[in-house]
Amino acid sequence: MSDYLDWPDLSFNSLVAFLNQQNQQQHDVQLEIFSRFWQPASYQALTQSFIWAPAFAALSQPFYIDDMQKARQNLLGQLIRPCTKVSDLVNQRFSLPELNPDLVIFHWSRCGSTLLSGALAKDPDVKVVSESMLISQMLMDPHWHASEHQELLDLALRLQGRFRHGEHQLVVKCNAWDLQDWRLWARSYPAANIICLGRDPAKIFSSHQRLSGMHMVPLPVPVWRGEYKPDLQSGICWQVQVLQTLMQQSSQLLAESTACWLDYQQLVELEAEQLAVILRLSSPEFFVRNWSLHKQMDAKQPESFFSPEPAKHDANSGEMADARIRLQQLYQYVRLVANKAVADRTMTSDLS
């Protein structure tokens, strides 16, 4: 580095200070070449920029953010963190290979989506982009107009989903709150198979009582746009609103698209061959061989066997009882919509 920078008295501390200064600068890059070896790790809303991490290893962690943390653990990732302006990259996206996901997974959280995506990710032919915060945060940034969202999504997915390690199938597992953008995903990738995972809301509540997901607590920077108004007086009230919204958006998705519905109980009880048909896997052999064992493992700690925790007693039983009645009604409505959509598609297929 001393010779490269023509800096004869360069010390390690001086190098680190220099690199930190460079990491604050926004760089112009030739995106096609640059993105062969670097991948966007995070989005900075303050400057509408991508921060990059090395892309030398295939994605392997339950969530994309975990892979980015792992990529930054090597020396290169610790010292060099390039920063680029998103607006400078949008028009360059056409120099990248076009990418269309084979499968897009929406879910309500705690519904088996990580279990499913983890099983798919074990196949070396499949690349899984799991819960990309970069995509969610960019689409939530009010700096961007809704008319720009489709090209921003296209840019992010071409970069994050780029096949760098021999993969040739792409699966995207969205964040739970990305259901609010289901029309954008369906419009952008009309050939993609879309799966929506849900679960008995009482089971979801029980899971979030132990450890709440970020969309289940009011945050200073909310993950919801527009109509979402947090009730800071009651965590239960907030969680009810969240689940109501997810169910309403799911019913719209199922009624207006060709998306398939999977309840958590179905997911864990279906035979691997049946599930592979629903997922429309082009090469299901690997998945079929490994699904039975994989679904016994802890989705978020893949090296450990899953052990269900005992249900937690609700602190406010009266409020929870009222909430469960309302949510159960909506849950049953979603299932009816899903069944009707299947029946309509079957009838259309028979007539044709």
Q: By C-alpha distance, which of 109, 286, 307 is closest to 198?
A: 109
Q: By C-alpha distance, which of 218, 203, 58 is closest to 126?
A: 58
Determine the pLDDT at residue 318. 66
Determine the pLDDT at residue 78. 83
What does pTM read for this prediction?
A: 0.89
> In terms of DSSP bridges, do strands 169-173 and 126-130 run parallel, antiparallel, or are they unpaired?
parallel
Q: By C-alpha distance, which of 308, 237, 229 is closest to 268?
A: 308
- Is the distance from CB of 37 to CB of 54 less than 8 angstroms? yes
Q: By C-alpha distance, which of 265, 129, 112 is closest to 185?
A: 129
- Is the distance from CB of 232 to CB of 220 less than 8 angstroms? no
Chain centroid offset of residue 128 CA:
9
Contacts of residue 220, Cβ cutoff 8 Å, sequence gap at least 6: none
> Using CA atoms, how far apart are residues 352 and 349, in angstroms rounded to an integer?
5
Contacts of residue 348, Cβ cutoff 8 Å, sequence gap at least 6: none
Determine the pLDDT at residue 320. 66
The whole-number mean pLDDT for each consecutive block of 10 residues of the chain, a chain of 352 residues, reads 74 77 82 97 96 95 95 85 96 96 96 95 96 96 96 98 97 96 97 97 80 69 63 66 91 96 95 95 93 82 65 57 84 94 76 61
